[in-house]
Structure 1
């Protein structure tokens, strides 16, 4: 049934104007509210308390809640509370979000008004809407939701509060608190939703990992090499990896003690890094088993920088390409494979020459693929230690390398070192 048909049916049931109902329904659907939940929300708005399925369901435990549920009542412990502003139907809307838990599991929630929630509270949320988000149920606490604070504390097998090490953070996390050192930071002006906006962006680090960040309301405490505690952040995906977002509702406090950081990347097998969905600063070791097409001497669009084929850019059509060097190498460590992408500087190192050398070799052979062939002879079959940012998308896993060094130590020595670490 289409949105128009659902609107007509709903307007007939409620005895209200169809166009008004249709506009409200389309707005909710555009915000990714499931159609059934949107219909129930409008029934409440226009005075029909029914949900079309027999009322609100009372759930004994969180693990019973499914995306097929309309509205539920559940008792749970508040693990954390985040606060931020979003643009909703053309206006700024402050929301509160985080995670609820009981003994059976956890569920994300979004509160569209301030219910006064605090980490550690035990609440009973009545008539909470259920929506699907990333394939899982999420609770929506709105104007029709009742929240009762229980005197008896619900015991849960989860930590209360938003404190997290960077290595634990995942895309979609809300209400996260971190203690980090500002590894890199720059001030930029962007074209934001309200015009030109100044932001801070860079890299945060602790002993476990490094992650990119954006401060949308620049805090003076965030400066290079500063050790800070940042509370109430949320996490989005940036180039395939989690990125910490600091907002006007975040608090930033300078720390007296310096946060210790790891000078090396997070060392992971390829399979584990890929299954994590992306790692910002990862180090892995494997053998190069092949060099992919599009390596060696290539041409890029002068407008967008994309690699072009036969003078054609997918976005800008026929262009005069600009020469560049790149390598796309398949790295295999026995647990999985990843495409390692080397920029022009790293490509020069493995090629043994610069861009002009590559042009000269291609001219002499009247074939630019000879550059990729030369690189292939140098690296295929050899073992390399690679560090960089690994991302995963529908096309596979890519590791944009910041370093690419051949492994020269004895495998037996490495095995002995590994065993000694395990024994310790």
Structure 2
């Protein structure tokens, strides 16, 4: 098989480097991907122009992942800007959504086309690729964009203003007004070396969500109410996370954004089915306390729990004492592991970390601390609030609140019957 000739044809068609296409094509063929399927995959990856055939003129609702290129006319709903690393180079791209009367589709623009939110544009020879199972448009050097004089009427909100509860992973160019509930500055290993970022929690009257500020805006601080123009939303630990970049405009507000004090109360089975949730309240019974609870030790470098003085990442270390609870929580509809940090564990245990050390030393067995904690919570109903993550290993809730239910079960049953019977 002459890979070189196929790569040359694709590179010419897609407007990319032949060497890059040849490497990708060879990799796919090595994994026994049929040639035609491999070529089609590369066309989708690079937003290709369909092998020299004319792009399909389509309604946005009809664009499918099997299309190679399309021409569409739509209204720009959102338009955000960010930088990414592509083939080892930093690229500035625009992302957002456009719509017509038949549907909405997201886009990535690899060139500067000069359109703005609210514009009606005709996009010629837009590449189509699959992203999270849905079609996405790629505007590249082979794409033409024309701004139309007449505005297209669409049944969708124009502009990126969103409440926190309405944000979904993949949203780009969004605008939120929120209060900064928590905020801390830390240094991470970024793509250019050590990088300072801000991270914390935002809140409005609909929800609370985590955020990351990759450009350390001084006006983002705990207690401040701010307007964030041009954010994007990623999935972090299974939940939407607001990302602030160098292209985000941060404006302090002269009014305070109210923050919801409550979290949605859900049955655990429903919460697991819906997926990870940043802030949720559950009610159920602690049926057991798992191994790894009570008096534990953490790695001083990465804070992971260690066993027998060994850290998975750093080998033999001198562990730092801590307290933790991993409780198995059940409400009759599902089961989750509820994790309590030191402060909540001390409250359940009825003593401090120093008290736990002393008890373990006197008994010459740290498991006595776990036993004491289990005696306080196992078999009892509790209300728990926190961030629920759901993955292949099950459901885990990192608790921010944990307290026993003191109301009479008979009263709750009667209230439920009253609600059911109207």
User: TM-score w.r.t. structure 2 length?
Assistant: 0.83
Q: 1:412 to 1:42 in 2, by over 3 A?
A: closer
CA deviations 1:142-177 (Å, max 9, x no partner) are: 111122334454443321111111111122211110
**Separation (CA, whole Å) in 2 of partners of 1:334 and 1:43:** 48
Instruction: Please state how far the C-alpha of 1:21 moved relative to its aligned partner.
Output: 1.5
**Separation (CA, whole Å) in 2 of partners of 1:197 and 1:69:** 40
| Aligned residue among 6, 9, 13 for 2:6 | 9
| Aligned residue among 61, 68, 73 for 2:66 | 68
Contact 2:47 2:137 in 1 (8 A): no
Instruction: Please state how far the C-alpha of 1:299 moved relative to its aligned partner.
Output: 3.2
| Aligned residue among 73, 93, 96 for 2:94 | 96
Instruction: Please state how far the C-alpha of 1:385 moved relative to its aligned partner.
Output: 1.4
Contact 2:45 2:129 in 1 (8 A): no
Note the 1:103-252 alignment, pairs <5 A: 103-252=101-250
User: Gapped runs of 5+ residues in structure 1?
Assistant: none
SS at match of 1:264: coil
User: TM-score w.r.t. structure 1 length?
Assistant: 0.82
Instruction: Please state how far the C-alpha of 1:248 moved relative to its aligned partner.
Output: 2.0
Residue of structure 2 equivalent to 1:38:
42
CA deviations 1:362-382 (Å, max 9, x no partner) are: 456655444333333321221
Instruction: Please state how far the C-alpha of 1:322 moved relative to its aligned partner.
Output: 3.9
Residue of structure 1 equivalent to 2:393:
395
**Separation (CA, whole Å) in 2 of partners of 1:376 and 1:230:** 45
**Separation (CA, whole Å) in 2 of partners of 1:392 and 1:291:** 19
Instruction: Please state how far the C-alpha of 1:6 moved relative to its aligned partner.
Output: 4.6
Q: 1:252 to 1:20 in 2, by over 3 A?
A: closer
**Separation (CA, whole Å) in 2 of partners of 1:361 and 1:98:** 58
Residue of structure 2 equivalent to 1:260:
258
Q: 1:168 to 1:336 in 2, by over 3 A?
A: farther
SS at match of 1:348: helix
Q: 1:361 to 1:422 in 2, by over 3 A?
A: same
Instruction: Please state how far the C-alpha of 1:103 moved relative to its aligned partner.
Output: 3.5
User: Gapped runs of 5+ residues in structure 2?
Assistant: 28-37
Contact 2:228 2:250 in 1 (8 A): yes
- TM-align CA RMSD: 3.6
Note the 1:288-367 alignment, pairs <5 A: 288-362=286-360, 367=365
SS at match of 1:114: coil
Contact 1:288 1:380 in 2 (8 A): yes
Contact 2:295 2:356 in 1 (8 A): yes
SS at match of 1:162: coil
**Separation (CA, whole Å) in 1 of partners of 2:315 and 2:388:** 30
**Separation (CA, whole Å) in 2 of partners of 1:395 and 1:111:** 37
**Separation (CA, whole Å) in 1 of partners of 2:347 and 2:229:** 42
**Separation (CA, whole Å) in 1 of partners of 2:58 and 2:344:** 57
Q: 315-324 or 88-97: which moved more?
A: 315-324
Contact 1:14 1:43 in 2 (8 A): no
Contact 1:328 1:340 in 2 (8 A): yes
SS at match of 1:23: helix
Instruction: Please state how far the C-alpha of 1:275 moved relative to its aligned partner.
Output: 4.3
Residue of structure 2 equivalent to 1:21:
18
Residue of structure 1 equivalent to 2:34:
none
Residue of structure 1 equivalent to 2:58:
59
Contact 1:29 1:35 in 2 (8 A): no
| Aligned residue among 377, 382, 385 for 2:383 | 385
Contact 2:43 2:68 in 1 (8 A): no
**Separation (CA, whole Å) in 2 of partners of 1:121 and 1:359:** 66
**Separation (CA, whole Å) in 1 of partners of 2:298 and 2:220:** 36
Residue of structure 1 equivalent to 2:372:
374
| Aligned residue among 81, 84, 87 for 1:83 | 81
Q: 1:154 to 1:29 in 2, by over 3 A?
A: farther
**Separation (CA, whole Å) in 2 of partners of 1:105 and 1:15:** 32
Q: How many aligned residue pairs are there?
A: 410
Contact 1:58 1:74 in 2 (8 A): yes
**Separation (CA, whole Å) in 1 of partners of 2:114 and 2:372:** 65
**Separation (CA, whole Å) in 1 of partners of 2:227 and 2:46:** 42
SS at match of 1:9: helix
**Separation (CA, whole Å) in 2 of partners of 1:181 and 1:29:** 51
